[in-house]
Amino acid sequence: MPSFLKSAQGLAPSAEADIRDTVQIMLAQLRDGREASALDYASRLDRWEGPVIVGADEIARASAAIAPDLRAALDYAHENIRNFAMAQRASLTPFETELRPGLVAGQKVIPVSAAGCYVPGGRYAHIASALMTITTAKAAGVPHITACAPPRGDGIDPATLYAMHLAGADVILNLGGVQGIAAMAFGLFDTPAADVLCGPGNAYVAEAKRQLFGPVGIDMFAGPTDIAIVADASADPALVALDLAGQAEHGPTSPCWLITDDAELGREVLRLMPGTIALLPEGNRDVAQQAWNAMGEVILCADRDEMAQEADRLAPEHLHVQARDLDWWQQRLTTYGSLFLGAETTVAFGDKASGPNHVLPTSGAARYTGGLSVHKFLKTVTYQRVSDQALPDLARATAVISHAEGMHGHALTAEARLPRPPLPRVVGG
């Protein structure tokens, strides 16, 4: 049974009910008031009075304004993300098979008609999020992609805007928050209503997506980002501490777990954490310290099998293995959003540039789902075709099952397809 060298202190009660009610009211007003309501919220909440649709001139200015090294880095990341998403797309293929003589069934893979990609603002400029969502929808073959991001000052952050355009957004909106989500879901500002909404955001954005889910698809129900590091005695405690601190800067509610079978490593990481967090700039440092105090845990296990069991129990968004025998860990671990194998494979690579998507399941959702991929924007649909050869057996089996279920109308439709003997031929007069 694992023990704790450090346990999470926990968080203050949340205001989930208030957020839920606020979002419900906003969505109702946006559904009825449409563009006028969206403009009103943009003015009041984001102090934005400029045009909602980003024009080509603004995109060109943004591209020219960013530093060449940042532009090159975004181009590099985009190429990796696109290539990975295209490889995912190629793994999904249509097929047709003859299940029995005369009974043919098949599969088609069809992209949704329109997607809405939300790029968050807030504490950080989430430039990489633009690449992750829009690029993936584009690789899936979605014909129209609307993207939005909160305007700040003169508009969307230039690097974020460059990334949105680079990734392939067809229309970009200067809208954030619930009004941005609603604009994409309801097809405001002459855009097609999104079939799928994706992208991370604050609690209001997440709640808006949750309330819209059903008629509209969403990537997932998102909670605070988290990280679990599995480390044995071979790990460098300074590197482990740095990786925990790096992810803790996401926000004060972000869980950070260290799972180890080496008590000395665990105690050394605990000793190093205050000084490691102090390396961050002041604002980031305060956030990371809050996250580590409230949500940080160091879990001591008996051996690597117990470590793996604990990792599967936590179902982390990011799971980083800094231990011997990486092949064993890759085969054994089953429950995570994305797996990072080896001390050199820091989670930040996946967050920004390596290729696999960084929109991942949180709050234990990795127990039943993976992260954002081209699959989210594709419908895997089936078809079937029956000829005379298969008809008698298929109709009889369907009728028997339907009668047993009490669904006699179903049985009648099957029996109507059974071959009938020809009418007797009348001879003479």
> So which residues are the catalytic ones?
317-318
The amino acid present at 385, given as its one-letter code, is R
Report the alpha-carbon distance of residue 282 to residue 225 in Å, rounded. 21
244 neighbors 296 (Cβ within 8 angstroms):
yes
Report the alpha-carbon distance of residue 99 to residue 393 in Å, rounded. 13
170 neighbors 144 (Cβ within 8 angstroms):
yes
150 neighbors 121 (Cβ within 8 angstroms):
yes
Report the alpha-carbon distance of residue 55 to residue 171 in Å, rounded. 9
Q: To which residue do tokens 């109702």 refer?
A: 28
346 neighbors 340 (Cβ within 8 angstroms):
yes
96 neighbors 105 (Cβ within 8 angstroms):
yes
Report the alpha-carbon distance of residue 171 to residue 14 in Å, rounded. 35
- Quick one: residue 406, left, alpha or beta (phi over 0 = left, psi -120 to 50 = alpha)? left
Q: Which structure tokens are listed for 174?
A: 């200067």
112 neighbors 378 (Cβ within 8 angstroms):
yes
